[in-house]
Structure 1
Amino acid sequence: MSDEVLTIKEVAEYLKVNERTIYRLAASGELPGFRVGNAWRFKKSDLEEWISSQAAQSKGTGNGNN
C-alpha cells in the first residue's frame, strides 16, 4: 500500500469528480481525510480502501431503487 498523501485537487482528479464534491465528502466524514491547518489531505491507501468499501456496498444494495 502507498503512504502517498494527496491534495483536494489530486483526489478530485483521481476520483474524476469536482473538487467541491471532495470538500463535501471530507467535511461530512464520509471520505477519509485529515486537515493540515486549513487544507485537507488524504492518504492514497485510505482512499483505495474507501473505494473498495463503496464498491462492496453498491453490490450489496442491488440497484439502489427503494
Structure 2
Amino acid sequence: MEDRWLSVDEIGEYLGVKRDTVYRWISERAMPAHRIGRLWKFKRGEVDDWVRNGGASEGSKTDA
C-alpha cells in the first residue's frame, strides 16, 4: 500500500474508532499527528507504532 497522509476520518476508520476519539487521543494521549493548516494528517506507520507502544490502551490517561 502507498505511504500517504491519512485524514482524521481515514485513520479513525483504520483503527475502528470515531473521529471524536481520534481528536481526544491527539490532545490527551499524544497520538502522532501533524497539523497542516486546519487539518490533522497521519502517517499509518507512526500510528501503528503508537498503538503497539500502548498509546491507545485503556490504561493510558483517559479511556476511549
TM-score, normalised relative to structure 2? 0.73
Q: Give the Å deviation of 1:52.
A: 1.1
Q: Hey, which of these two has a bigger chunk of helix by percent?
A: 1
Structure 2: distance between partners of 1:23 and 1:11: 11
> Is contact 1:8-1:41 (8 Å) kept?
yes
Matched ranges for 1:20-35 at <5 A = 20-35=20-35
Unaligned runs of 5+ in 2: 60-64
Letter in structure 1 aligned against 2:33: G
> Is contact 1:7-1:42 (8 Å) kept?
yes
> Is contact 1:6-1:41 (8 Å) kept?
yes
Structure 2 residue aligned with 1:54: 54
TM-score, normalised relative to structure 1? 0.71
Structure 2 residue aligned with 1:17: 17
Percent identical pairs in the alignment equals 32
Q: How many residues align?
A: 56
> Is contact 1:4-1:45 (8 Å) kept?
no
Alignment of 1:45 with 2:45, yes or no, is yes
Letter in structure 2 aligned against 1:9: D
